[in-house]
Amino acid sequence: MEAFTYILECADGTLYTGWTTDLERRVLEHNAGRGARYTRGRRPVRLVYWEAQPSRRAARQREAALRRLSRMQKKQLIQTWQGGKLD
């Protein structure tokens, strides 16, 4: 089952990293206040980076790797990202 790892930019400029099997639904949940506790008070959030992963396990592993990056490294990743389209 395909999964996604993603980075959101919150209204206060902070970055949040997560994973999901339904990216569009998850971003809507974050903006509706039903996402992570961290993003509830920092809405609206904006999807600034995402990667498709072949499995949930791979998505969780990539999320952990992204969380270990510094803010500067995450910003560089976002800036060099070519983007993509969801099917």
CATH superfamily of this structure's domain 3-80: GIY-YIG endonuclease (3.40.1440.10)
| pTM, rounded to two decimals | 0.92
> Would you call the peptide bond into 44 cis, given omega within 30 degrees of 0 as the criterion?
yes
Pairing of strands 3-9, 46-53: antiparallel
- Helices vs. strands in the chain: H and E counts, helices first: 4, 3
Please state the domain extents for the chain.
3-80
Per-residue pLDDT of the chain (87 residues; tens, 9 = 90+): 899 999 999 999 999 999 999 999 999 999 999 999 999 999 999 999 999 999 999 999 999 999 999 999 999 999 998 776 655
